[in-house]
Amino acid sequence: MALITDNNSQTQNSIIKDSHGHDHHHHHADVKNIKFAFFLNIAFTLLEIVGGYFTNSIAILSDAVHDLGDSLSLGLAWYFQKMAKKGNDNSYSYGYKRFSLLGAIINSIVLVVGSIFILTAAIPRLFHPQETHVGGMFLLAIVGVLVNGAAVLRLKKGHSINEKVVSLHMLEDVLGWAAILVGSVIMYFFDVPIIDPIMSVVIAIFVLSNVYKNVRQSLHIILQGIPEEVDITDISEHLKRLEGIENVHDLHVWSVDGTYNVLTVHVVLSATLTMEKLAELKDTIRTSLQEKGIQHVTVEFETTEESCLMENCCN
């Protein structure tokens, strides 16, 4: 009979013991970061709507609509990131970590809708440019760079995908306002109002290209793809080199939320071991895999005479 051990609780205890200070410092940092970005964004959106109306700038009004959608998605991101802090229960055995990923996906959808709206409003103005209040655009652009830049600095050290997507919201706004700032200076000296809708189109294309990257990463996690930072072949060879291990099979690695990686494996022992030796080997496996980016490890021990019933157990 196989000797089965799920060392989830030991892994969690080890993580808490080895990095308690780090976890304590970052446990609520991501929620606070997203909360900060949410209130900053909703306040500035109101300023954009008023400023865009009085300056007659499609770039500013488009960004205002875009930021209104951002505010909605940031509110959802804040909620989902708080949910992600809950532990496991009878409904979710791995806890609520993947709720953070759900927030990232919703954010991405909102970005796509907002970008399409920008394009539909800006493209007609490419053929029929309208005059804008350049001085007002210049002042709003300076405020926009400073406000959104502060949010990016706050979020850039985030670890979750949710934080990265929120950081993208803020970074794209910084770049957008920088473009508006440059455009307003050019329009101040030259009569080229077409620059305003051109900037809107460029911003939208930039947003869509980055959303594609984040959606692709999110889908990779949902489909339980191997995390990009994990080399499953290297892990297999590493385990085979450990003393007392004859072979490994049925090795699977996936990520819960992009930062918390899970591994299950069948380990064939080269000789029968006592329970004490099995515990030592299990601890060695767990510790060494933590160094390779695996936070949750489940091991099933087998003997060389044993026939594995798993479909994909054979190498």
| CATH number for the domain harbouring residue 178 | 1.20.1510.10
What's the pLDDT at 163? 64
Contact at 8 Å (CB) between 78 and 35?
yes
Q: Which of 222, 241, 274 is the last residue of a domain?
A: 222
Q: Which of 222, 240, 263 is the last residue of a domain?
A: 222
Q: Which of 170, 190, 222 is the last residue of a domain?
A: 222
Encoded amino acid at 214, one letter = N
DSSP string, 227-270: PTT--HHHHHHHHHHSTTEEEEEEEEEEESSSSSEEEEEEEEES
Clarify whether residues 43 and 177 are in a common domain.
Answer: yes
Residues with Cβ within 8 Å of 10's Cβ and at least 6 positions away in sequence, in order, are 283, 286
Clarify whether residues 71 and 164 are in a common domain.
Answer: yes
In terms of Cα–Cα distance, which of 105, 173, 100, 93 is closest to 140?
Answer: 173
Clarify whether residues 197 and 264 are in a common domain.
Answer: no
Structural domain boundaries enclosing 276: 227-302
φ and ψ at 220, to 5 degrees?
A: -60, -40
pTM listed for this prediction: 0.65
The mean pLDDT values, 10 residues at a time, for the chain of 315 residues are 42 39 49 76 85 82 73 72 73 77 79 84 85 86 86 68 67 79 89 86 82 86 90 93 91 88 93 90 93 92 75 44
Encoded amino acid at 276, one letter = E
Clarify whether residues 205 and 245 are in a common domain.
Answer: no
Pairing of strands 261-269, 296-302: parallel
What's the pLDDT at 164? 67
Encoded amino acid at 79, one letter = Y
